[in-house]
Amino acid sequence: MATAATRIANLRPWLLALLAAALSAVFLLGGSLGLAMHQARQDESEQMNAQGERFLVRLEQLFGQLREGLDQLEAQPLRTCSPQMLDTLRQVSVSYRFIYEAAFVGDGRTCSSWPKRTELNRPRAPDIRGPTYDYWLNTSAQLDDNLAALMLGRGDFRVSTSRGHLTDVVDLPAGGSLLVVLDKGVRAVPVLGPAQEWPPTPDWSPLTVETLVTTPTQLIYRMPTQSPEYQLVLITPRTALGQPLSSAWWFLAPASMLIALCVGVLVLQLMRQRQSLGGELEGALRRGELQVLYQPIFDLKSRRCVGGEALVRWRRPDGSLTSPDLFIPLAENTGQIRQITDFVLQQLLEQLGPLLRANPQLYISVNLAACDVMAPRIGKVTARLLAQHKVSPHQIAFEVTERGLIDVVVARNHLQALRDVGHQVLIDDFGTGYCSLAYLQTLPVDCLKIDKAFIDALGHDAASSGVAPHIIRMAHALQLRVIAEGIEYEAQAVLLSSEGVSYGQGWLFARPLSALKFSELVTGGRREITRRSGDVA
């Protein structure tokens, strides 16, 4: 199914590009929305902190002046409502900016600096009784800046401040409230704004040190105070979210769409490039630009060549080489890998048929793609070519990678069919895939090839330095032969031989050779360890 989807995408690259652009747009727009909302909440929290700090500074100034005014009234000797008392009260209210009204409530009467509009002549128990001062909260919650909102008392004197003295610093939004929390966090009295549900959150604790608490609908700012008898809390609804979100969104949304468009164009360009490369590969097969080289495999003790691995190379007319890592995966996706495998088998038997017939113990291994591991096609193709060139099946081995074993049960049946007619089966690059020991025990395998990465780690302190010896011991336990790939140094060959590895391949012995040079190597007998410049095809 994945291969079919890839082929459809190769046939219609614009469809894949459109899908990539759409997915990118969804992902980027979602991320942009989340980022915009996070930024909006952060801005909202910063505004709330600034608002709360301004309120706190104003309250400290306000309470300081109220206390000073009360102390001044308490210090003077008058204790009766008289013209002199009225003058004194008016003088105090004029001297202090935040004292809106001053009053005397002794000898059964009330004298006020605002006698006709006073809120102080309505007796009520104080909300907070202190050792020196008493506090009356929310004496008027009406939206009138010229009405008293907070009152302090000492002895027979009262002073109050107006709502306007609190709101001239920060104007509360609709539904916002400034609360005084009493009785160890149990009760909250609004000084400004409407009463709020208390506690504001189920887990509210008066002992927490968290200053700003956010809920889905409210921002709650706890103002630090020096008095243990009360706390100041500012609560506002989260109504300011829309504007910051819209400003960030109008920047992020177009940027996200532009990036998604660029992703779509890039995918379209890459797919067309792959299509172009696929077309070039088809032409290369017709024009004979592909060639087969042979990587010799040596007996590590006798240093004699016992076989080889067939490798395909793409040499363009200008002499440049296209890496197999580039065109082999493309061929697997487009289905051209079957044509390449058939080409390798045909070239192998045409070039080395006489050599194989003259050396019955010599073998050549061919790499199989996953599509040929999962289908019986390759067995029929090989049988026809072997009969044509009169070569024994045991002289053609097939290498499969662990990643090619998509369905182990199906692969086991097809590999067993190849093995039944005499072909050897090798697991290539063992240790880099996902073939477990349990599967390996049931697969029809003759040999394991250890990946070059594990050979390079031998003799080092790398974490993978112990993988190769482990694979070797496991292979011996399963009575499998072992071939080490990528041997470049004599010390590696000696160490592997001491570990019980019988065969190896790599640049220490020879680079990939043309058919002619490979034949010369085999017929020339013992191979010298030192490399010759003519070895490389």
Residue 385 has pLDDT above 80, yes or no: yes
Q: Look at residue 280 and tell me if it is in a domain.
A: no
| Predicted pLDDT of residue 90 | 92
Name the more confident of 252 and 146.
Answer: 252
| Predicted pLDDT of residue 389 | 95
Distance CA 83, CA 94 (A): 16
Residue 259 has pLDDT above 50, yes or no: yes
Give the tens place of pLDDT for each residue, 80-125. 988 999 999 999 999 999 998 899 988 778 888 886 655 555 567 8
Closest CA to 496 of 300, 216, 272: 300
Range of the domain at 339: 288-527
Q: Look at residue 511 and tell me if it is in a domain.
A: yes
pTM above 0.75, yes or no: no
| Predicted pLDDT of residue 148 | 58
Residues 229 and 319 occupy one common structural domain: no
Residues 224 and 293 occupy one common structural domain: no
| Predicted pLDDT of residue 424 | 94
| Predicted pLDDT of residue 7 | 47
Q: Look at residue 216 and tell me if it is in a domain.
A: yes
| Predicted pLDDT of residue 514 | 94
Give the tens place of pLDDT for each residue, 399-431. 998 777 778 888 889 999 999 999 999 988 776
Token pair of 17 as six digits: 């590009």
Phi and psi, residue 325, nearest 5°: -60, -20
| Predicted pLDDT of residue 261 | 80
Residues 146 and 35 occupy one common structural domain: yes
As a whole number, mean pLDDT of residues 237-262 equals 69
Name the more confident of 22 and 285.
Answer: 22
Residue where the block lists tokens 């080289």: 293
As a whole number, mean pLDDT of residues 513-527 equals 83
Q: Look at residue 96 and tell me if it is in a domain.
A: yes
As a whole number, mean pLDDT of residues 458-486 equals 81
Give the tens place of pLDDT for each residue, 174-189. 788 888 888 778 888 8
Name the more confident of 292 and 286.
Answer: 292
Distance CA 133, CA 147 (A): 21
Residues 213 and 313 occupy one common structural domain: no
Residue 513 has pLDDT above 70, yes or no: yes
Percent of the chain with pLDDT over 90: 31
Residues 302 and 228 occupy one common structural domain: no
Q: Look at residue 268 and tell me if it is in a domain.
A: no
Token pair of 148 as six digits: 């008293």
Residue 270 binned pLDDT confidence (cut-offs 50, 70, 90): low
Residues 170 and 315 occupy one common structural domain: no
Distance CA 103, CA 112 (A): 4
Percent of the chain with pLDDT over 70: 82
Distance CA 174, CA 193 (A): 8
Residue 137 binned pLDDT confidence (cut-offs 50, 70, 90): confident
Residue 207 binned pLDDT confidence (cut-offs 50, 70, 90): confident
Q: Look at residue 202 and tell me if it is in a domain.
A: no
Give the tens place of pLDDT for each residue, 125-136. 888 888 889 888
Name the more confident of 244 and 78.
Answer: 78
Question: Across 85-229, where does the E strand assignment appear?
Answer: 101-104, 111-112, 128-129, 134-137, 148-154, 157-162, 177-182, 187-192, 212-214, 218-223
Counting the structural domains of the chain, the total is 2
| Predicted pLDDT of residue 350 | 95
Q: What is the CATH number of the domain that holds 466?
A: 3.20.20.450
Residues 292 and 217 occupy one common structural domain: no
Distance CA 288, CA 314 (A): 9
